[in-house]
Amino acid sequence: MNSLRTALAVLAGLLLVGLIVTLVSADTLSRKLIEVHLDYMFARDQIRTLSSERDTLVHINSFYRLREDSLDILAYRLDSLQAHMQMIELRNNYVGYYLLIDTYQNRFHLRINIGNGRDILVRSGYCGTGKGWTSNDDGQAWNFTTPRGLSYVLEKSENPYWHRPDWYWQEMNITPPEPDEFIVIPDTLPWEEQIIYYHDSLTVTERVFVKKVPGALGSYKIDLGGGILIHYGVGRGRNISHGCIRMGSSDLEALYRSLPVGAPVIIY
């Protein structure tokens, strides 16, 4: 009988210990749950705050982008107004062909003032103009914007060569070749055969080392000064060039035939 009581007492003690351990564990878990809940509440408040700050920054960014777009539109209108005023002055003081270059829409307009207030559009089409600021991996930067304002045809020539400037290689992150590394196309060949030699006799890698390139500018070149040329090129309808004005072959020939040296060119 005594042994049974002892066993029951031991069992009761074990149950009591188990109950105490369970209660302590439950209290510990409860405290941890409270801490997690508080952390969650804090994190949720942080998330709400960050979301609010993000929305505010988005609104501010949208505001500045609208202002930036407005500035671009305002600049275009001012340039257009100045070009229109220059056109009026030309019509009063100049008779003959002249050229308009719209760098925003990348279009050209060849016009002729025949006097007595009669001004006629002769030809219009797409062109490519300067792409603005660009840089290479070394942090070198160039402004390839087509200069706006009134210019004049200073010189015209046929069968021109393109002389690669140093920035051609630097823009592509290539060290400019040394003078003795340049590949020279035989000048004993006619200009048309030099173009064939360039494309058919040289590899792609070798062409990069040609300083004086035949045919790259097309068959004609119109020089506006300051390194700005009107020549043949791809990418018409876009701001893509290094400052020059790119034309299609037929449009370039039409301008070459029509514009005399001294003809005004209004760029806006």
Burial degree of 81 (CB within 10 A; 0-12, 13-18, 19+)? exposed
Query: Structure pTM?
Result: 0.72
Q: Residues 227-237: pLDDT tens digits?
A: 999 999 999 99
What is the C-alpha separation between 260 and 1, in angstroms, rounded?
133
The proportion of the chain whose per-residue pLDDT surpasses 90, expressed as a percent, equals: 64
Q: Residue 185, SS3?
A: coil
What is the C-alpha separation between 202 and 208, in angstroms, rounded?
10
Contact assessment for residue 228 and residue 240, using Cβ atoms and an 8 Å cutoff: no
Contact assessment for residue 249 and residue 233, using Cβ atoms and an 8 Å cutoff: no
Q: Residue 145, SS3?
A: coil
Contact assessment for residue 125 and residue 112, using Cβ atoms and an 8 Å cutoff: no
Residue 1 reports pLDDT greater than 70: no
Residue 40 reports pLDDT greater than 90: no
Structure tokens belonging to residue 47: 């998330």
What the chain holds in terms of domains, given with CATH numbers, is 70-267 (2.40.440.10)
Q: Residues 198-246: pLDDT tens digits?
A: 999 999 999 999 999 999 999 999 999 999 999 999 999 999 999 999 9
Burial degree of 12 (CB within 10 A; 0-12, 13-18, 19+)? exposed
Q: Residues 244-259: pLDDT tens digits?
A: 999 999 999 999 999 9
Planar angle of CA 128, 216, 195, nearest 5 degrees: 155
Q: Mark 150-163 as b/e (b = at least 16 C-beta within 10 Å).
A: ebebeebeebbbbe
Burial degree of 125 (CB within 10 A; 0-12, 13-18, 19+)? middle
One-letter identity of residue 101: I
What is the C-alpha separation between 170 and 192, in angstroms, rounded?
29
